Structure 1
Amino acid sequence: MQMRTKQVGVVRFQTGNVATTESLLDTGLGLIPTLRQVSLARQVRVLYSWPVSVPPPLSNAVLVSRPASLRQVTLLVHLRLRRVTSHIPLLNYAVEGANEELFVELVPKKKDMHVQCCGGLVSEAFKFKLRMFRWQHICVSINLDTRILHVIYDNLEYRRQLHVPGSELGPGERLEVRGGGRLVVGQKLYSIDGDFIVLETLDGEVGDWRLYDMALEADQMKALLRCRELNDLRHPMIDLSSGHFKVLGPTTTRNITLAEICSDRVTGFYLFFPQKMIFKHAYTWCRKLKGNLILPEDGSTNEYFFDRFVSYKDQCDDIWTHLFWIGSGGNLTTRVWERLTDGEPIQWYQFLREYRTVTPEFQCIAVVTHDRYKWAACPCDIETCVLCNFTTHPEMRLRGLCKDSAFDRLFSFRDNKDYQLIFDGLAHVVMEERNDTWIMRSRLYPTLKAEMISQWVGQYPVGVHTWIIEGDRCRQKEVELLLTSCHDDEYTCNDGSCIRKDRRCDLSVDCADQSDEMDCSVVVVPDGYSAQLPPPTYKGTSLPILFALNITSVRTFDLVSFTIGIDVYIKMEWRDRRLKYNNLLGNMRANKLRRWREVWTPGLEMEDGTKSAVEIKTHSQAAYVVRAAEPLPDDDTTIREDVAFSGLENPLVFQDEATLTFKCHFELQMYPFDRQKCFIVFKIKDVTEELGMLVKASL
């Protein structure tokens, strides 16, 4: 039977401003029974009354007996994480001398789910995919009689036969979970007394947490994970409404329906920005955060946001009495108001009668404050406030920190009671505005902090900004950082706007600040690089320089002076592992080095068969990079999102077009029926054979 409207409990852990070991659910000692036998006893003592309505305990209640062990157990939990810690404990049950008597945790770095029991005799790991800010559904069933471990994590399912060597069990011992211990949720027990570690906590929500003293069947597990109630299933041994848990520390509780937990739909949310902007900048600002300007589609939504933000009218008014922009634009051809998201005509609106027509002067819409709940067509260059709508929790990346930095590199933001923008790091950092200044602070490390140097009041940290850093492991004290919501296939302009990555350095300005056409050098020359020194040898072998020569014409032939002039095309190819390259394309000609003299190129010495120097007249020289390998992993220590390539795997090509004039000793006895042999010897200038050598190649 489906009961998705049923109310269930949800616990939110780590609600304070700092991470703590005091946020947890705790049963205390002695609440692990088998529930196989029952007896009449005195009234059950309820340790915590859950907000869900439950029947009061009876004076002659049935009290479960507490045998010394448990042979079957099933954990059901719905999990929604807000931050990632090194270990995320979903259940930790410890007895004297064994802190892993029954233990289920997630290890995000390894993408492992660990299940342990029986004093560590059973220890298994399963792969999982972590999704932040969305409900994930987990069920773990252990049957020590059949020695079957069954795990379902969203759409992943594992069924494993447990193998425990007989030598691990003492005489008369059997595989079991011993009773009489302590069970906690949200912290990792390292002893029965606690010994919690702040890095190994659960920061997020658990919903409808249940522990059964039986190994559920697969169909039962799947039904419960789909939020279906089973009428013939006995009550859990422990759950959130049983009264067995004490709720401790900065931890809150609430009730939601099973339908909310099992819905894959991400609930939308809104953020309000009381800074006045013209329409174009307001639209761009919402898009920088992967949101859209608000467009109410019914009266209740329209009225709610007017009532919520009308108190900001003095901050949002310009010469017009406007409150915030509406996400629609006027089509001058059809004279229809269209949605900005898809260009379709809007279906619901609330215009003032005299301000509803699309005109060349009035192509935008804003909510007015002098007439409740009404909209007005208006010029797009006036300024008013911004209300953005979000359909998901965007992921923001922070770039520019050194490799050893303790700051988070991944952030997100979500709804809050004040509708204000606060960036939460996925581990421990919070980025928020305080006293008109944006700061980063750590929930774990009190001395770790950073402050953004603002150019004006109300400036947001999205894009490239300078930060003053304290308490970090990096030596940097003042550093440029980039905060961006752009996806992997996008490039971030300095102001935080996103463009397609293939528009980077394409000789066409796409960023409003022109930053997409800045720093467009193909080659990255590291500090300390010397163009006078050849590339280092690799694995003890000299550097091979592929050499090819093509004679395109014989320009002169002088029998009297014994000289020949030829036009040649010379190509040399080598690898310089000291270098890196940016944004290489498949066409070598597109990877031309604008300042090739900044890198080492082979200098040629030429002499003819008479040991005389060859006269060289250069017509053109150019250097290119051949894309021959896949890009390197992304390096987020740089603020530029360029695609980097290794100098070791992608060769440099130097092309030289020249006229060579040299002497040749002609043998003229059979002239004009003779065949002459003329020589030019090519050598690399200032490079010994141990360091580099020419290798014949084809053009």
Structure 2
Amino acid sequence: MQSVVVEAEKYSLTTGKGSYTLLGWWRFCYLHSFETKQHTIYWNDKVFSGTSEGPEMVRGGGLLVIGQDQDRMGGGYTFSQSLNAVVADLRLYNRTLTNSEALDFVSCKETHLDPQPLVSFPDFKNNWKIEGSVNIEDLNLADICQKESSFLIMFPEAWSFSQAVAMCNNVGGSLPVPISARENEQILSFLNPYIPYCSDAHGYSIALGMLKKYETHSHYHYKSGENITYSNFLYRRDEDSNCVAIAVTEDDYGYWYYSKCDLELCTICNFTSVTHLKDGQYTCDDGTCISIDHRCDLLAHCPDLTDEINCNTVKLSETYIWELPPPLPDGSPTQVSVFVNITSVRDVSLIDLSISFDMILVFTWRDPRLTFQHLRDNMDQNPVREGVGVWHPEVFMEDGDGSSVDVQVRGRQTFVRRVGPPNPDIPTRLKEGRQSINIQIYPRTVYTMLI
């Protein structure tokens, strides 16, 4: 859900909540009455009304910039404050529209309002100064106002039919299935720029989302099972194959042919909207979404096992020297707490004056030089993996007379104890973490290491 923010001079209004899908058209109209302090927002099929403070009028002069925030008059532009979208119509009127006029606009009905708007798009090139990466194209009202629009995305990697189906499914799309000559031509038009990336000695072709029924030699949609009545086979070949591809070669341009389902072809996916990662989810390398709680939990949940890759709990800096103990500001020795647990007494010999027993030693210390990541509340799930060189206290044992004792170490493991919330995300770390799309980085001074 998105809020509407309107600012005028020192006043700011945040109201209404509308929803939209990425790469889909949405229509918006804002009405404001300076006399009654009333405002109405039309967002697609939703209407929001309310009262708000504001200036008595909008002063003239100044500079109107569309698609870019100004930090100062005519400047202070930054890339992060640029609009990345397609704007098909923009109108600014010097009067408040009626309810029916606003509804006509957001309903994509032809509108002929009087007087004409102060600002509009009809004479775009003459009335507007275009700067930056801006493309101008002509659009039909029917294209903008269709109930459901679809679009294609290209994956220029060679995959088998099953791999292509899985990839499209993971990103919320499906393999394309043209059901008319017009849709077939649209796919071809989309594919043309990618021919150099996917052509090989056998030409260039793309898998379609249909399969063959051997009994009737008809075709059906691989996902819905619906029969496909439209056909564009130039001639039948490789009849033993079950999958269908569209050819983009000089001789067979736009025609279909049967292909083996294990043949690896470039893939395009068809979308009606872009689905984004839900809150609390992590993306596996193959596109599968899993709960972020399964990331680095010592159990593989991704089909490709990538949720357990790069899961080291400790991140070492280039200046870290594992042979040196953690430095303290006042130069005093590093404080190490020791916990001793004698688990069993194996043997007591009065003749040899010796004793043999098992015990567990737990050492606790702080190392402010370390950065931690992927930490969990359960310390057992935060092991420091073997091969990571971190400082450990050295242990020497002797008896009451100062003689050395025979020590057999049966195992040693280092864990990190989480005792606080994570630090803010680092944008340059591109893996998802619990808070956002980045790995969590934890405070370096409030964690305890144990062995």
* Unpaired stretches in structure 1, ≥5 consecutive residues: 1-107, 165-174, 397-486, 655-699
Among 498, 510, 533, the alignment partner of 2:287 is 498
* 1:186 aligns to 2:66 (yes or no): yes
2: CA distance between counterparts of 1:367 and 1:244? 39
* 1:328 aligns to 2:176 (yes or no): no
1: CA distance between counterparts of 2:374 and 2:50? 46
Q: Cα 1:310–1:621, aligned 2, differ >3 Å: closer, same or farther? A: closer
* 1:571 aligns to 2:451 (yes or no): no
> Where do residues 490-639 of structure 1 align in structure 2 (5 Å cutoff)?
490-492=283-285, 497-500=286-289, 502=294, 511=304, 519=310, 521-537=312-328, 545-560=336-351, 562-584=353-375, 588-595=379-386, 598-606=389-397, 615-626=406-417, 632-638=423-429
Match of 1:270 in 2: 152
8 A Cα contact 1:186 1:201, kept in partner: no
CA shift, 1:555, in A, is: 2.0
- Listed one character per residue, the Cα deviations across residues 322-365 of structure 1 (whole Å, up to 9, x for unaligned) are 7432223569999996645x3735534525785586x5xx2322
8 A Cα contact 2:108 2:145, kept in partner: no
* Cα RMSD (Å): 5.5
Q: State the AA in 1 paired with 2:12.
A: E
Query: Which range is displaced more, 327-336 or 571-580?
Result: 327-336
Higher strand share: 1
Query: Aligned with 2:412: secondary structure?
Result: strand
* 1:223 aligns to 2:103 (yes or no): yes
8 A Cα contact 1:113 1:125, kept in partner: yes
1: CA distance between counterparts of 2:407 and 2:124? 92
* 1:365 aligns to 2:244 (yes or no): yes
Query: Aligned with 2:324: secondary structure?
Result: coil
* 1:115 aligns to 2:4 (yes or no): no
2: CA distance between counterparts of 1:296 and 1:382? 21
Query: Aligned with 1:376: secondary structure?
Result: strand
1: CA distance between counterparts of 2:38 and 2:106? 20
2: CA distance between counterparts of 1:633 and 1:550? 38
1: CA distance between counterparts of 2:123 and 2:189? 40
Q: State the AA in 1 paired with 2:282.
A: D
1: CA distance between counterparts of 2:388 and 2:315? 13
Match of 1:652 in 2: 449
TM-score norm. by structure 2 comes to 0.66
2: CA distance between counterparts of 1:539 and 1:338? 76
Among 31, 41, 48, the alignment partner of 1:152 is 41
Q: Cα 1:333–1:610, aligned 2, differ >3 Å: closer, same or farther? A: farther
Higher helix share: 2
8 A Cα contact 1:525 1:579, kept in partner: yes
CA shift, 1:306, in A, is: 5.6
- Return the index of the structure with the highest Cα Rg: 1
Q: Percent identity?
A: 24
Q: Cα 1:386–1:550, aligned 2, differ >3 Å: closer, same or farther? A: closer
Q: State the AA in 2 paired with 1:602.
A: P
CA shift, 1:376, in A, is: 2.8
> Where do residues 424-443 of structure 1 align in structure 2 (5 Å cutoff)?
none
CA shift, 1:527, in A, is: 1.4
Q: Cα 1:161–1:354, aligned 2, differ >3 Å: closer, same or farther? A: closer
> Where do residues 21-420 of structure 1 align in structure 2 (5 Å cutoff)?
113-116=5-8, 120=9, 122-126=10-14, 133-146=23-36, 148=37, 150=39, 152=41, 154=43, 157=48, 159-162=50-53, 175-177=56-58, 181=61, 184=64, 186=66, 195=74, 199=78, 204-215=85-96, 223=103, 226-227=106-107, 235=115, 238=118, 240=120, 246-250=126-130, 252=136, 254=138, 256-257=140-141, 265=148, 267-270=149-152, 292-302=174-184, 305=187, 316=199, 323-329=205-211, 339-340=221-222, 342=223, 344=225, 346-348=227-229, 350=231, 354-355=236-237, 359=240, 362-367=241-246, 374-380=255-261, 382=263, 386-392=267-273
1: CA distance between counterparts of 2:69 and 2:284? 45
TM-score norm. by structure 1 comes to 0.46
Q: Cα 1:534–1:212, aligned 2, differ >3 Å: closer, same or farther? A: same
Q: State the AA in 2 paired with 1:498.
A: G
Q: Cα 1:535–1:225, aligned 2, differ >3 Å: closer, same or farther? A: farther
Q: Cα 1:296–1:189, aligned 2, differ >3 Å: closer, same or farther? A: closer
8 A Cα contact 2:161 2:264, kept in partner: yes
1: CA distance between counterparts of 2:268 and 2:262? 17
Question: What is the number of equivalent residue pairs in this alignment?
Answer: 421
8 A Cα contact 1:139 1:221, kept in partner: no
CA shift, 1:568, in A, is: 0.8
Match of 2:436 in 1: none
